[in-house]
Amino acid sequence: MPISLYDATVPTMIQMLNAAQGWIEKAKASDISEETIATACLRDDMAPFPKQVNWMICHSLGAIEAVRKGEMNPDLEDPTTELEQMRLNLGAAENKLRALSIGELESFVGQEVHFVYKPHDVDIPFAGEHFLLSFSQPNFFFHATTAYAILRHVGVDVGKMDYLGQIRAAAV
């Protein structure tokens, strides 16, 4: 049985957005200040934690919205630096993804979508499925992994099971 575009994207996005909410709960419960977390990054040439969290949303729910309208532009706005608001934003994105239908995602196959970054004259055309699977999904995991790594780097007590969140194991 072939896997659907929905199955290849949405459940894992939901899993990781939910997991990230747990990381933030652990960060809030730690002795590490919000300011320390908000300014933390892995290297000077990488974005700090709030942007990594924001880009998780951009490459999950934002990617779905981009295919709907046929265009994605990079989100260059400064995101919230408040941990609770980040958690709420992740939860809102998760809930909107839960409301998606399989049929809508399947309608994205073959639909044209462009990644447009005007300051650098970039316009990359994709078919909807390739945009989600070869552009947004890898970006989503990059930013999720980076956000998680930043929390570990500053001393938040998160481990591999926190990163994975609620896996979808099948009863045998």
Domains of the chain: 5-164 (1.20.120.450)
Tokens of 50: 């709030």
Question: Is the pLDDT assigned to residue 109 strictly greater than 90?
Answer: yes
Provide the total of helices (H) and of strands (E) in the chain, helices listed first.
9, 3
Tokens of 96: 């909107």
Question: Is the pLDDT assigned to residue 134 strictly greater than 80?
Answer: yes
pLDDT of residue 76: 86
Question: Is the pLDDT assigned to residue 99 strictly greater than 90?
Answer: yes
Q: Which amino acid is at 133?
A: L
Average pLDDT of 130-144? 98
In whole angstroms, give the CA distance from residue 21 to residue 167: 15
Average pLDDT of 57-72? 98
pTM (2 d.p.): 0.94
Question: Is the pLDDT assigned to residue 53 strictly greater than 70?
Answer: yes
| pLDDT tier, 172 (very low <50, low <70, confident <90, very high otherwise) | low
In whole angstroms, give the CA distance from residue 171 to residue 93: 28
Do β-strands 112-117 and 71-72 pair in parallel, antiparallel, or remain unpaired? parallel
Task: Name beta bridge partners: 102.
Answer: none
| pLDDT tier, 170 (very low <50, low <70, confident <90, very high otherwise) | confident
pLDDT of residue 88: 98
Instruction: Give 101-107 contacts, CB < 8 A, sequence gap 24+.
Output: 102/4, 102/6, 102/7, 105/4, 105/5, 105/6, 105/9, 105/10, 105/64, 106/4, 106/5, 106/6
pLDDT of residue 90: 98
Ranges of beta strands (E only) in 67-169 are 71-72, 112-117, 122-127
- pLDDT tens for 29-50 read 999 999 999 999 999 999 999 9
pLDDT of residue 1: 64
